[in-house]
Amino acid sequence: EVQLVESGGGLVQTGGSLRLSCAASGFTFGDYSFTWFRQAPGKARKAVSYIDYSDGETYYADSVKGRFTISKDAAKNTVFLQMNSLKPEDMAVYYCAADWRRPLMWSYDGEYDYWGQGTQVTVSS
């Protein structure tokens, strides 16, 4: 059974940090690229950060560049999102998504094969 299980969300004050994890199982981790998406209430789901299956190249949305860092641990089949200097506008449900090899457009959610259930991030001002 394919699973992506996110964890690490919670309540944090503005300026604080959180580290999200996405544990993958049921497929060959090394053959998939991963992206973190987020969705705030009443808004469309948006791509936050991507990590490539092959060379580990990373991409970030402009809104999180310099504050968020994506990484992965192949030995643990886990992808991480380190979020620093959090702002109220970062508050959303964060989802992990996986696509076989490399998506044509990393920010397009229709590209992805597997999704997690999401983890809530709340930032208090």
What's the pLDDT tens digit per position in 85-115? 999 999 999 999 999 999 999 999 999 999 9
Q: Quick: pLDDT tens for 13-58.
A: 999 999 999 999 999 999 999 999 999 999 999 999 999 999 999 9
The pLDDT, as a whole number, for residue 111 is: 94
Q: Distance between CA atoms of 117 and 13, rounded to whole angstroms? A: 24
Predicted local distance difference test score (pLDDT) of residue 104? 95
Please state whether beta strands 119-124 and 10-13 pair in parallel, antiparallel, or not at all (unpaired).
Answer: parallel
Q: How confident is the model at residue 5 (pLDDT cuts 50, 70, 90)?
A: very high
Indicate the pLDDT class of residue 121, thresholds 50, 70 and 90. very high
Mean pLDDT of 4-17: 98
3-state secondary structure of 58: strand
Joined together, the tokens standing for residue 24 give 């993958």
> Which band of pLDDT confidence, cut at 50, 70 and 90, is reported for residue 125?
confident
Cα Rg, the chain, nearest whole Å: 13
- CA-wise closest residue to 20 among 107, 78, 98: 78
Other beta carbons within 10 angstroms of residue 85's beta carbon come to: 13
